[in-house]
Every structure is written in structure tokens, then in C-alpha cells.
Structure 1
Amino acid sequence: MFHLGWFVGNGYSVQSWGRDWAGTDNDDWWSPSLYADAARALERACFDFMVFQDGLMVPDVFGGSMEADLKFAQEIPRSDPTAMVAVLTQVTKNLGYIPTISTSFYPPFMAARMLATLDQLSGGHAGGNLVTSASDRAAQNFGLEGHHDHDLRYGMAEEWTDLVTQLWDSWEPGAVVMDTERHVFADHTKVHPIHFAGKHYSSRGPLNTPPGPQGRPVISQAGGSPAGREFGARFADVIFCVPNGIESMKAYRRDIHERMAAHGRAPEECKILFMVDPIIGETDQVARDIAAARAEKKTTDAYVEEHLSVMSYFSGIDFAQFDLDQPMPDLDGKVNAQQSTMARYQKDAAGKTLRELVIAHNMVATIDLVGSPDTVAAKMGEVIEEVGGDGFLLSGPLNRKNIAEITDGLVPALKRRGLTRSSYSGATLRENLREF
């Protein structure tokens, strides 16, 4: 069997706004109703978790202006996903929730406290998706002139995570005794200052709230660069990745396991989930028609402009300055932002003009999955058998139609093949991740 997660790529934001099947999202995108409906459906389908992307600024790289990003609702708005997660923990029992947390800008004590609180609220089904952030504009919102160098950010993130985990561990198991007869809430001999003093961070501790049921909330990570992979191999319980094709998927998994071994960790301690965006139809032909229609929309000027603004955000380089009908410029050594993402663009750019690259590129799919539920389920099973991976992180439009196609179409086909669980066996998110 393999695991399933859902990536809310827009975070707590507008989802299908301005697009087909938006439902009420055009008018009340801030309402929890869409997310609550999705969460109930995903739990019914026995997904492991939902993970929420986030951002901390309004981009203005493309054309030197905020215009395109605000026009297309691209990377904006971004409301705080931890608040949405707190609401969603009350509508499900077994589904996990993982909001994105920036190690560069969240004070470690506050992050440790917030995630411990979410773990309490969710009954042990919370986690944090740790990112280092990538934008100078985000850094400027927190009082810096610009963001730190890429590898320095990951070095700081390792120290940050060391500190956060020590804060979670500052309460020993059994510290909370709740002895009403002796009027003792907690055993003071089991709660300890940590006196952490690092190069970048320090904290006396202890945390001022007991840990939740998991002790340490689940940590997820999605870095694809060598520094990002090293960080994930050391700390993560689940890693998300977008290698291109079967052989790249195998190589990525092998690399992470080798890095984990160097840190004294066993492969089963961290699940590797490959991102996919299935296109489901009642028949294979219907699905191919849907895929063709989506591909046609990608040829419009509006789509090209929107995608270029995304590439500008990812790279920190203004793509409005480049000729669309010339090859993509060589960005080697020029990107301090999302290096692995832009490396994939560079690889896919071979033999294409910039316009052709934008139209053809798929940011969130390791493999193409197009067909009926049975066809796609069979392909997913074949891929996992060949790669040996742990599962898939599904990324697609967050609307009720797409959720239903996955949870009520694809997942039953997966269950019939014995590929995914039919019920939860663990009491926490970590236990469900470790089930197989």
C-alpha cells in the first residue's frame, strides 16, 4: 500500500477563483466551508493529510510591479494557514493537517508553541511544513535588507529545527500528572529549561505548553537542492518532491535514503511522496479531452503572462525582460530563491523557446496521470512498484468537483487494488505515516 496527501498549492487563499467549478469561491474565498468539505472528503478517502502552502509577501518581480500577481491572484492573497488548520481540526478526527512555516521568519519559540497547540487541538494530527522562504521582499517585511544566501538559509534552518525540537522535548513524558487530590498539574522535576545557545538562535525554555499527543508534531519538507535534501534527510517525517519521470524518482529516493543513513536514520522514518496532478474522466477518452482542453488554455496570452510571473517569483528574476520567442536565458548561478524549481525549468528548456517552455512545463507532476479512475489507479500502482516509493502528494484545483473525482472516483479504484488503506489504524498522524 502507499500513502496519499493533498497539497493545497494556493494555501489559505482564493482557489478556483475566476475558473470553472469555483462554486462560491468567487465571493467567499475566506470562508472555511470549502476547506471543511474537502477535509471531510479526504478523510472519508483515508488520506494521510492536507498540507497548506504559504507566502509572506506580495510579489513584484515580474515587470517590476505587483500588477500581474494581484491581477491573477498569484501568490496573493495568503492568509495565515495555521488559523484555518485550527478550524479544520474540529471537523475531522483522523486527517492530518500540515501548515507551512518559514524557519527564516518565525521565531523558534513561537513556532514550537503554535505547532504544539495545533497538535493538541487535532488530537495528534498536526505537523509543520518547514521552508526557508526565498524572497527578498519577504525578508524586507521582517526588517532585513534582503534574504540570506540559499545555503546559509538551510544552515540556519537546521539550527532552528534543533531548537524547536528541544523545546518540544522540554516536557518529559509523564510530566503532566493532573493529580487533583494533591493539587498538582505537572511534575516540576520533568519540565526543564533547555539553555539553547546557537550561532543564530538561542532560547532558555522550557516551552510554556505541554506537547500534544505526538510529542513532536510531524515535520515535512520539500527542498530539492542538495542543501534542502540534506535538511529533509536529517529532520523530516515526510518529504515532497517533483523529480521528472521514473528514473529521476528512483534516483531521488535513493539519494534521500543514503543521506538518511548518514544521519543514523532508517528509510521507514521518512516517507517520500511524489507530486502528481491526475486528470480523471469517466473514460480514458473523456480524460484525454479534458487534458487537451487544459493544454489549449495554456496557449493564451493571459496564461503565459501568469506563468511568467510565477517564474519571476520562483527565481527572483524578472522574466518580463526576456524575448518569448528566444531560448530561456541561462540562469546558472543567478538564482538565490527556489533553485531546484528553476533547475527543472532549465532542464526542460532544452530545444524550446521561452514561450514553448511556459506552455509545456508542468510544475507539479512527476508523471502524467490521465484516464479513467481504473486506468490512473493502475498506473499509480505500477509506478510505486517500480520506484519503490511511499506514495503520492496530489496537487490540483481545490474545488468540490476535483475533490470528488479523486475521493469518490480514483480512491475507490485504488482501494479495489489494495493500494491504499480503507481505514485508519493509528491514533496520530505519525502513526498513520508509519503504518506501512
Structure 2
Amino acid sequence: MPHKPFHLAAFMNAGPMGTVGWRHPDARDDFLSAAYYTQTAQLLEAALFDLVFVPDSLAVPRSLGGRFDPAVRYGSGSPRLDPIPVLSLMAGATSRIGLAATTSTGYNEPYNVARTYATLDHVTGGRAGWNVVTSFQDAEAQNFGHEALPPREQRYARAEEFLEATARLWDSWSDDAIVQDKPTGQFGRPEAVRAVDFRGEYVRTQGPLGVPRPPQGYPVIVQAGASPSGRDVAARWADVIFCSHESIESAIEFYSDIKALAQKYGRDPDHVKILPAAAVVVGDSVEDAQAKHRAFEDLVEPEAGLSRLAYHINVDLTRFDLDGPLPEMEVAGVMGHYREVLEHARAKNLTIRQLGQWYGARTEGYLVGSASDIADGMEEWIDRGAADGFMVVATHVPTAFEDFARKVVPELQRRGRFRTEYTGNTLRENLGLPRPARDEWRNRAASTLKEKP
């Protein structure tokens, strides 16, 4: 039986990498330049990655002690450039690799998002992807005139409406609406374009969109929710799910649950690609890789790690005894991160302060070893039903990506687990995903699913 090939995405900030990645001696420090992004995108395309994934947030974190000082001092979650111009730069320097960015449903409107991603999909020839998030920091809310984030269920209710409205805007033009008949003077077919007239509790939009239907039908939809609400939305809407796990057992549970939910909603489970984070430290041997990893950990300042953890879970950790355990609590931030950290803290009996030291250098899904060791670990996750591929997280840019491309990719290709050339032109084609037909939103929206018997 042939081995199942898998997909690779690259996680790259539009800014410094993590709390300590920017400190690495081999890290480039020109993250405000165009060349930083275009050259990295070209490196990843030469390695045949499916896509580059750029996360985002809309605030300088204030989660530790209500101050932004630690975030600025240590680079924990700040600064962040606008990812869309960054992806546009990457697009001009490449021709095949997918380009995905984070845009919040909390502090944007469907029309803006539909227009932006439809445009990006057109000008890249069908390579765009949208990572749907609901925002996870109170500091983001405060930048848009609110004191705190809405409750999680309310954020997801808005996201539901937002996704439906955005998809309906993409569908407001049929694929054959433009004719551009110069002799007759007819540019388009008005009967092939329609209004949307979406009226929800949280968002409203009239339409039609001012941009024709995207080449991919819908840009690839990425989602990362780990809560019950997040999983439900992902199973219905997501083409790619980005997740992180501290153990293969938790990854298998998540994978199985998402695939079952997708099937429940009438989707082919293979059309929901699950890509856990994998921070790869590759060396010529296990010992060499471990030495690299220890050197990386030595760069951590404990307060920097606490700042990063507080930012991700949106909890001010100074409220607790830093020499005591991390308590069980309802967090407003990234629930998946919190559950993983709590799992690790209990397994290792760590205090909050010790967690900060660990979390400062932590990048999800560490794989440390030779190229053969890394390939073995990835194959285990794929073959045991924990992943469809991986989101490769660079500890520092560009060297970590260069090491992976030069050492691990050829090993995966030798084993028949990764492509030797791009077989498609669009991101959907390279991921093995179908192009949504017009009005596919009816099969994904919670409102329409409730109407079905």
C-alpha cells in the first residue's frame, strides 16, 4: 500500500519571530524590508511548500500587568505589520506557493474582507487563503472602542454570520458574469450578478461585491479554533485547520473529532486538511540538533516568556503566585494554547514562573534531530491519524527554513511523502481541494443547516 503524501505550510510572522527568535545569531533583523519577505517566500517556493501562513493581531499586547512594556522590550507579540501588503510582496516574487493571512471577524466587516481576499486571489492566480479568527486579546477590543472582548460564544456567533456574509459576497457574481464584448460594448451580464441583502444580528451587507468571483471560488479558508465552538465552525467552513498539540494522543483525538464532525455536516473529511504546528530543529545528528535547541533556550528571559504566555491566553498572570501552579480557569484567549500549557505544567509539575522560562523558547510541536529523525516523527503523526501535514514554524528566519528545505524536504521526497514538483496552479489544486460551486455557503452556514431535515 503506498504511503500517504502530506502537505507543508510555513508559519512566518510579519515581524520578528517569537520572543527569542529575533535574538538568534543567524536571524535576519530587516523584518521591515521587502526583501525579508520576498526572499523567504522564494526559498519556501523552491522547497515546494503548499503555502506561507502569516498570523496577525490588532494590538500591542498588554496582558502582563496591564502594561505593554514587556511586549515591546522582548518582542512578545509585537510589532506586527499588516499581512496583506506583505503577502502582496510575496506574490510578486513567486508564482506557485499559496499565500494565507489572518484577518479578524471581530474588528472588520464582511465587505472589506471579501473584497481584499477576492482581489488577492485574482492577482495571484488563485493562491490566496484567509485565516479566520475572532481575536483573542482585550487590547484588540480596546483599539476599536471597546473595554474587553465579547464572550467567546458571542464572538463565534458573529464569526458565523461573517463567514456566511463573506461567502455570499464572493458568490454575488457568477463565474461567467464578465463577457468584455468589445464590438457590442457589453462588459458584463447583469443577470449573472445579484445583491446579497444579508441582515444578521451582528453584521449586515447589501452587495453585490465590487470584485468578480475569485478564481478559487472561495479563497482557501483556514481556521484554528480548538474550543467546541471553534471545532464546529472549522468542521463546516475550514479547508485547512492549523492546530498545536503537546502529545500525539491529543492530536489524534482532535483529528478524529474534526473528521467526524466534517462527515456529519456532509463534507468529505479528506477535504479538511489538519496541519499541526511543527517547530523543527534539524542538525547533522541528534546531538547536534539538541545542542542547537539548548542554545536557543538559553536566549530566554523569564519575563519574556510570561509576557508571551499572558498574551496568548489573554490572562494577566501577575494576578497569581508566580511560584505556584497554573490554575484551572476559563481563558478569553487561545484556548488550545492554554490546554496544552496546562497539560505540560501538570506533567512536569511546573510553577507559573518556570512555565514562563519554558514558554519563552517554546514553539509548538518541537521536532529535534537529524533529517531522518524529523521525517520519522512526521511519518508517525501522519500514519497514526494525527495530521494531514504540518505547519512548519521557524524558530528564526531564514536559517530554520533553509535547514528544513535543504535537509528534511529531500528526505521526505526520498520516502515518497512529499511532492517533487507542484502539480496544480492554485492553492486548492495543490492541497487536493475542490473548487466550491456557487452558493456552496448553503452547505456550510449554521443558519441553512438548521433548515434541513
Normalised to the residue count of structure 1, the TM-score between the two structures is: 0.93
Q: 2:67 aligns with which of 65, 68, 75?
A: 65
1:143-170 deviation digits (Å, cap 9, x = unpaired): 2232110111011101100000000000
Q: Determine what percentage of the aligned residue pairs are the same residue.
A: 35
1:197-231 deviation digits (Å, cap 9, x = unpaired): 11111111100111231121110011111111111
Q: Does 1:157 align with 2:159?
A: yes
1:348-395 deviation digits (Å, cap 9, x = unpaired): 2212222333334575433x4211112211221232112263101111
Q: Does 1:332 align with 2:329?
A: yes
Q: In 1, distance between residues paired with 2:293 and 2:77?
A: 24
Over aligned residue pairs, what C-alpha RMSD do you find? 1.7
Q: In 2, distance between residues paired with 1:226 and 1:138?
A: 23
Q: In 2, distance between residues paired with 1:292 and 1:70?
A: 25
Are residues 194 and 89 of structure 1, via their aligned partners in 2, closer, same or farther at CA, if it must alter by over 3 Å?
Answer: same
* Alpha-carbon contact 2:309-2:356 (below 8 Å) kept: no
Q: Which amino acid aligns with 2:432?
A: R
Q: 2:26 aligns with which of 21, 32, 46?
A: 21
Paired position in structure 1 for 2:375 = 377
Relative to structure 2, which stretch is displaced further, 11-20 or 410-419? 11-20
Q: 2:270 aligns with which of 263, 268, 271?
A: 268
Paired position in structure 1 for 2:445 = none
Are residues 143 and 296 of structure 1, via their aligned partners in 2, closer, same or farther at CA, if it must alter by over 3 Å?
Answer: closer
* Alpha-carbon contact 2:305-2:358 (below 8 Å) kept: no
Q: Which amino acid aligns with 2:364?
A: A
Q: In 2, distance between residues paired with 1:231 and 1:149?
A: 16
* Alpha-carbon contact 2:141-2:148 (below 8 Å) kept: yes
Paired position in structure 1 for 2:218 = 216
Q: Does 1:112 align with 2:114?
A: yes
Paired position in structure 1 for 2:258 = 256
Q: How does 1:24-423 map to 2 (within 5 A)?
A: 25=29, 28-298=30-300, 302=301, 304-328=302-326, 330-333=327-330, 335-350=331-346, 351-361=349-359, 363-366=362-365, 368-387=366-385, 389-423=387-421
Are residues 203 and 310 of structure 1, via their aligned partners in 2, closer, same or farther at CA, if it must alter by over 3 Å?
Answer: same
1:102-140 deviation digits (Å, cap 9, x = unpaired): 011111100000000100111100011010001222112
Q: 1:5 aligns with which of 6, 9, 26?
A: 9
Relative to structure 2, which stretch is displaced further, 268-277 or 371-380? 371-380
- Residue 179 of structure 2 aligns to a residue whose secondary structure is strand
* Alpha-carbon contact 1:246-1:387 (below 8 Å) kept: no
Q: Which amino acid aligns with 1:325?
A: D
Are residues 22 and 243 of structure 1, via their aligned partners in 2, closer, same or farther at CA, if it must alter by over 3 Å?
Answer: closer
**1:243 Cα deviation after fit:** 2.2
Q: How many residues align?
A: 424
* Alpha-carbon contact 1:14-1:30 (below 8 Å) kept: no
**1:435 Cα deviation after fit:** 6.5
**1:3 Cα deviation after fit:** 0.2
Paired position in structure 1 for 2:432 = 434
- Residue 128 of structure 1 aligns to a residue whose secondary structure is strand
Q: In 2, distance between residues paired with 1:395 and 1:290?
A: 16
* Alpha-carbon contact 2:170-2:214 (below 8 Å) kept: no
Q: Which amino acid aligns with 2:350?
A: K
Q: In 2, distance between residues paired with 1:20 and 1:326?
A: 34
* Alpha-carbon contact 1:116-1:212 (below 8 Å) kept: yes
Q: Which amino acid aligns with 2:253?
A: A
Are residues 360 and 371 of structure 1, via their aligned partners in 2, closer, same or farther at CA, if it must alter by over 3 Å?
Answer: same
Normalised to the residue count of structure 2, the TM-score between the two structures is: 0.90
- Residue 86 of structure 1 aligns to a residue whose secondary structure is helix
1:238-273 deviation digits (Å, cap 9, x = unpaired): 001112222211111110012112221111221001
Q: In 2, distance between residues paired with 1:289 and 1:239?
A: 32
* Alpha-carbon contact 2:303-2:356 (below 8 Å) kept: no
- Residue 62 of structure 1 aligns to a residue whose secondary structure is coil
Q: Which amino acid aligns with 2:344?
A: D
Q: In 2, distance between residues paired with 1:398 and 1:100?
A: 20
* Alpha-carbon contact 1:136-1:145 (below 8 Å) kept: yes
**1:323 Cα deviation after fit:** 3.2
Are residues 435 and 219 of structure 1, via their aligned partners in 2, closer, same or farther at CA, if it must alter by over 3 Å?
Answer: closer
Q: In 2, distance between residues paired with 1:70 and 1:288?
A: 29
* Alpha-carbon contact 2:244-2:336 (below 8 Å) kept: no
* Alpha-carbon contact 1:425-1:435 (below 8 Å) kept: no
Q: In 2, distance between residues paired with 1:140 and 1:388?
A: 38
- Residue 214 of structure 1 aligns to a residue whose secondary structure is coil
Are residues 258 and 80 of structure 1, via their aligned partners in 2, closer, same or farther at CA, if it must alter by over 3 Å?
Answer: same
Relative to structure 2, which stretch is displaced further, 213-222 or 312-321? 312-321
Q: Which runs of 4+ in 1 moved over 6 A?
A: none
Q: Which amino acid aligns with 1:332?
A: M
1:9-37 deviation digits (Å, cap 9, x = unpaired): xx3113453431123x1xx3211212111
Q: In 2, distance between residues paired with 1:399 and 1:203?
A: 40
Q: Which amino acid aligns with 1:290?
A: K
Are residues 98 and 13 of structure 1, via their aligned partners in 2, closer, same or farther at CA, if it must alter by over 3 Å?
Answer: same
Q: In 2, distance between residues paired with 1:17 and 1:244?
A: 24
- Residue 349 of structure 1 aligns to a residue whose secondary structure is helix
* Alpha-carbon contact 1:123-1:212 (below 8 Å) kept: no
**1:283 Cα deviation after fit:** 2.0
Q: Which runs of 5+ in 2 are unaligned?
A: 435-453
Q: In 2, distance between residues paired with 1:190 and 1:37?
A: 41
